[in-house]
């Protein structure tokens, strides 16, 4: 797992990505850590670059992986 990233987000406390396994791991501010398998690296990179990590997650990850 890559280093844990701590975005300025009211929804996501931290997240990390395993590029070999293509797994995105997300820890939410309200509790709970979830793994999202099959997330391509370019999607993770876009999440890192997003103005709002929470909005990006809702629009591009949740329900898709």
Residue 6 in any domain: the answer is: no
Q: Dump pLDDT digits (tens) for 49-60.
A: 999 999 999 999
For the cut 80, the answer to whether the pLDDT of residue 1 exceeds it is: no
The domain tally of the chain equals 1
Residue 7 in any domain: the answer is: no
Predicted TM-score (pTM) of the model is 0.91
CB burial string 3-34: b at 16+ within 10 A, e below: eeeebebeebbbbbbeeeebbbbbebeeeeee
- Structural domain including 28 reads 12-60
Residue 42 in any domain: the answer is: yes
Residue 5 in any domain: the answer is: no
């Amino acid at each position: 797992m890559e280093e844990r990233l701590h975005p300025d987000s009211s929804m996501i406390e931290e997240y990390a990505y395993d590029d070999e396994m293509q797994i995105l791991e997300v820890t939410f501010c309200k509790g709970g850590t979830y793994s999202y398998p099959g997330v391509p690296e370019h999607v993770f990179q876009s999440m890192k670059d997003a103005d709002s990590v929470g909005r990006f997650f809702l629009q591009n990850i949740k329900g898709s992986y």
